[in-house]
Structure 1
Amino acid sequence: GLGAIQPASKTALLAAIAKERQTELFAEYGHRFFDLKRTGRIDEVMNTVAPGKPATWQSYMSNWPIPPNDILSNPNLTPNPGYPQ
């Protein structure tokens, strides 16, 4: 029952796919987060969306923290930038 799309360009097609994924995969295992991260749009979107939550967003948050027990267990690991040592 979905209408056909007639993208005018590759950019328009990718935008339509991204919008459809945003709608269809809402709240499903972080698909939106990973789509934004993979396409390099996470800062652009999160800087717009976070203030309305209200929340804060900083670029380092796109990488999750390494659990402290993992860092203690492996001296070769260091925390991701932005997270406490």
Structure 2
Amino acid sequence: MPYEGEDAGRLTVGGELNQLAANVAIGRSMGGVHWRTDYSEAVRLGEEIASAILREVTDTTLEDAHFTLSRFDGTTITI
């Protein structure tokens, strides 16, 4: 059964994945496992790693694939 809540038109897979990552990091900060700065730096590092992997995959395959992604800071990148 499809979700039909009032925010159904605004939900995206990327948005939900970002929210999940943020919830995990915030929970670990609240639990005293990490500092808040660990979260903000880990997000930047994760974005760079994911972007590099996608660039490598698109450069080494015969597919004509393009990815447009929204970063945590709101900017978009196309690979």
Please give the TM-score of this superposition, normalised by the length of structure 2: 0.30
**Which structure's CA Rg is the greater one?**
1
Which structure dedicates a bigger proportion of its chain to helix?
2
Which structure dedicates a bigger proportion of its chain to strand?
2
Q: Which has the higher contact order (CA 8 A, sep 6+)?
A: 2
